Structure 1
Amino acid sequence: MRASRLLSVLLLLQDRGRMTAQQLADELEVSVRTVYRDMEALAAAGVPLYADPGHDGGYRLVHGYRTRLTGLTHEEAEALSLAGLPGPAADLGLGSVLATAQLKLMAALPNELRDRTGVLRQRFHLDTAGWYARTEPTPHLAAVVDAVWHQQRIRIRYRRWKAPQEVTRTLEPYGLVLKAGRWYLVASHSDSVRTYRISQILRIRILEDHFDRPHDFDLAAHWGSYLEEFDARRYQGEAVVRLSPHIMEQLPDFMEPAVVRAAHDTAGPPRPDGRVQVVIPIESVEHVAGMLLRLGTEAEVLAPTELRALIAKTVAALAHIYGASAGPA
């Protein structure tokens, strides 16, 4: 652990130039006293360090000195695949490994590329969580990650939406997917590949026995097929809706991608008032009614009749409530 930290100190000074003991302590998440001891150890090992006193002082390397200890370990090389996802990397237990790998990479770059990389890192940031949604607690994620890496079977107690809600499953974990800030496990159960939401795992036990992951299994391709099948299972009906030009433009802010895509694919010629008739997939009359009510007078349901009737009934009930409580003007 200390050897890794000393290397990190050396790479930080090489990459950033002069740094104070407090800056190093904050970067490495250690105490200032630990930084002092590390500096003494580096100086004793022959590293040409200078300590500049004063308020603007700090530690720096002799001008022109560069370490060549920039080779990546297997763990660091793997962590670089998550270089744009520091949050998820930390979720997977690779936060410190990723930081060390990035330092080594920066140290190996020529000066002009290193400077440009530093600027890019300050200009662009990827946030994977969805709007208006909190990050889900995933207390068992680390155990799942360990099982995925080592190809060990797991036994989980899982909460699902249908009865019985709590079930026990023995799984062969193939991989993990981060979708809109939520972690999912793709695993084999009873000779079929299924998807499990990590936050819904109540208990987990890593079993002693290992399994052979299919050599031709492609996680990204499987996930793409899963999403298509998921939409096909969900959308069991269709609705014919007349939408205003304004809502057609704003539809991605209100509806899911599959609904938006269907609306644009089926849009007919504009009417004299600019409205267009579209056909959209629906899960159920009750579910889509709530979404369409959000569009107000910008949308008119033409079919099915039960959906049109439900929206009319809801609007009438709202008019009764607000009309009765409005009072004198």
Structure 2
Amino acid sequence: MRADRLVSLVLLLRRHGRLSAAALARELEVSTRTVLRDIEALSTAGVPVYAERGRHGGFALLPGFQTELTGLNHDEALALLVAGSRRGGQTFGLGAALASAMRKVVDALPEGQRSTAAGAVQRLLIEPEADLLARRLVIEEVPDAIVAEVRRAVFAGHRLRIHYAAVDQPPKWRTVDPIGLVTARDHGYLLATRSGANRTYRLSRISAAEELAEPAQRPDRVDLDRVWQDRSTRFRTDGDQVTVLARVNPARRAELVGTALAVLAEESDADGQLRLEVTFQDSRHAEWALWQLGTNAEVLTPQWLRTALYDRAAAIVASYGVPS
């Protein structure tokens, strides 16, 4: 751990030229006392780091000092920098490690390509925090200590005890066999088995975790993408599904189909509207999806959904009152 931090310290000084002990401490997420000890260790090891006194002083490397990081061409480094701009590292508690890795990637580039790569990354945006309608993504915060414990059990192949709160249930301890970690729409999930049955746990609902010494009962190899697809399919096809028949403005078809589980039938009416028969996970899913379309959709059946949408609209009208 300290060796990685020392390398990161050198890379920070190479990139910025001169930094104060306080600035280095913020970047490395340690105390200034630790930074001073690391500076002394680097000097003892022969790294030419020196202190500049005064108001704008700090620590710097002698001009021309070069670390040896090779084997990465410009496009490979750019691909890693772009991948590092996504939030998966934060979801799995690897934010600090990701920042350190990105500093090493930048340092690996030849001098003339560093500014080019940095400028290119500024021209690419991966999964922004808000869409074109200004709807912000809800990013779940999971304590690093919990994520680290879960991650260790997954990588080591050990059983895991988690204090988990399922939906509408009080939290309780469970012992599981971890298979892998998945991030989807900025939510983290633990894929596991419990007593031989497949289980999926949302990381944000784990309040405590403990890696056990006992080996996990799981296969040596796993196709995590296939496992996730299979569980997603079972999730969509289980539960109290609802079938809805609706007339929809063709311009909003993609929006409705995109949130539905399946399209059972589709035809055009004489007035150009589409008549769609679609299924949803449950009643709440159906009501939410049709409400998003406003006057661009009319539910024909079932009657209870028509009533629910009418009640929603009536409540809004009542809250504004009759215009004078």
User: Which of the five TM-score ranges fits, normalised by the shorter chain?
Assistant: 0.7 to 0.9
Residue pairs, 1:8-19, within 5 angstroms = 8-14=8-14, 16=15, 18-19=17-18
Within the candidate set 228, 231, 235, 1:226 is matched to 231
Look up the SS of the partner of 2:84 in the other structure: coil
Q: How far is the alpha carbon of 1:172 from its aligned partner?
A: 0.4
- Count matched residues: 309
Q: Kindly, what percent of the aligned residue pairs are identical?
A: 35
- Post-superposition CA distance 1:278-301 (Å, at most 9, x none): 122123446523442343322111
* Change in 2 beyond 3 A, CA 1:88/1:320: closer
Residue pairs, 1:57-76, within 5 angstroms = 59-68=59-68
Taking structure 1 as the reference length, the TM-score comes to: 0.74
- Post-superposition CA distance 1:164-194 (Å, at most 9, x none): 7555432100111112222211001222322
After superposing the two structures, state which structure 1 stretch, 119-128 or 195-204, moved more: 119-128
After superposing the two structures, state which structure 1 stretch, 153-162 or 296-305, moved more: 153-162
Within the candidate set 188, 192, 196, 2:197 is matched to 192
Unaligned stretches of 5+ residues in structure 1: 72-79
Q: In the aligned structure 1, how far is the partner of 2:82 from the partner of 2:161?
A: 28
Look up the SS of the partner of 1:288 in the other structure: helix
Q: How far is the alpha carbon of 1:40 from its aligned partner?
A: 5.0
Q: 8 Å contact 1:83–1:98 — kept in the other structure?
A: no
Q: How far is the alpha carbon of 1:101 from its aligned partner?
A: 3.0
Aligned residue in 2 for 1:180:
185
Unaligned stretches of 5+ residues in structure 2: 72-79, 131-135
Q: How far is the alpha carbon of 1:215 from its aligned partner?
A: 2.9
Q: How far is the alpha carbon of 1:211 from its aligned partner?
A: 2.5
Q: In the aligned structure 1, how far is the partner of 2:139 from the partner of 2:257?
A: 19
Amino acid at match of 2:294: G
Q: In the aligned structure 1, how far is the partner of 2:34 from the partner of 2:61?
A: 19
- Larger Cα-atom Rg: 1
Look up the SS of the partner of 1:47 in the other structure: coil
Residue pairs, 1:111-260, within 5 angstroms = 111-124=111-124, 126=126, 131=136, 133-138=138-143, 140-161=146-167, 166=171, 168-234=173-239, 236-248=241-253, 251=255, 257-259=258-260
* Change in 2 beyond 3 A, CA 1:266/1:111: farther
Q: How far is the alpha carbon of 1:44 from its aligned partner?
A: 4.6
RMSD of aligned C-alpha atoms?
A: 3.9
- Post-superposition CA distance 1:244-290 (Å, at most 9, x none): 244336x2xxx58342x846x85433643x32211221234465234
Q: 8 Å contact 1:171–1:187 — kept in the other structure?
A: yes
Amino acid at match of 2:111: N
Taking structure 2 as the reference length, the TM-score comes to: 0.75
